[in-house]
Amino acid sequence: MSAATAIGIDIGGTGIKGATVDLSTGELTSDRIKLPTPKGGRPDDIVETTKELLALLSPDAGASVGVCFPAVVRHGRTMSAANVSEDWIGFEAEALFETALGRDIHFVNDADAAGYAEAQFGAARDVAGVVILTTLGTGIGSAVLNDGILVPNTELGHLEIGGHDYETRAAYSVKEREDLSWEKWAHRLQKYYRTLEKLFSPDLFIVGGGVSKHHDDFLPLLDLSTPIVPAVHRNNAGILGAAALATLR
């Protein structure tokens, strides 16, 4: 495998997917393989499925591998758990994966991987200053970059606004659950992004998550000082970002 490629693996609550990535273009150089996340999402089960997926990708022993995961990750330890077992909380996750996979890896939060993918291959590429990516889905994930450098584990979906953990008010899952119109949901997003503007004075907002494919229905309804654009990469963002970060370990 060329040094210009790396493997990215994206672990989620329902699926584990991976592919080989051309690090100069962000294009996949293999099929994207997806396996179901084991029921219960326990560490040993997820690691075994990841090992199976990696074998299907047939990498050579020296291939760089990055893994992204739905948790705050500090020095290889998972400090939270979203849609997986609580056994991950405080767990030495990176060490477990490295032992099971038989190689060094780079282990990172999933929203951070998506943000880094946009910096390398998408909407944040060559953008100077502060860029904030938010993923609007079950919750609100975030990634902050300054001149393309990732500031990890920001968790800006949990900002308290008006007495609420604001992802409980403005995540896309809330729009669906409460059957909000685009206009009513945008009103909530307006308050959220205005707060981010006040706190960070960003140069660009990027909106990811599956709902970003409907960006024409809600982004034009926002009145912000900061440009706000949809993410370029959605389903593959975690894979791309994890692969790109793998070479930095």
Secondary structure element (H or E) that encloses residue 134, with its range: strand 130-136
Q: How much is the pLDDT for 2?
A: 53
In a domain, 187, yes or no: yes
- 82-117 per-position pLDDT tens digit: 889 999 999 999 999 999 999 999 999 999 999 999
CATH at 216: 3.30.420.40
**Same domain assignment for residues 128 and 203:** yes
**Same domain assignment for residues 109 and 127:** no
**Same domain assignment for residues 107 and 47:** yes
79's tokens: 């400090």
Q: How much is the pLDDT for 220?
A: 98
Count the domains in the chain.
2
| DSSP output for 191-231 | HHHHHHHHHH--SEEEEESGGGGGGGGTGGG---SS-EEE-
Show the domain range for 137: 123-230
Per-10-residue mean pLDDT, the chain, length 249: 83 94 95 95 96 89 90 95 92 96 94 96 96 94 96 95 96 97 98 98 96 96 98 92 89
pTM (two decimals): 0.92
Contact between 74 and 36 under an 8 Å Cβ cutoff? The reply is no
Closest among 132, 130, 157, 120 to 236, alpha carbons compared: 120
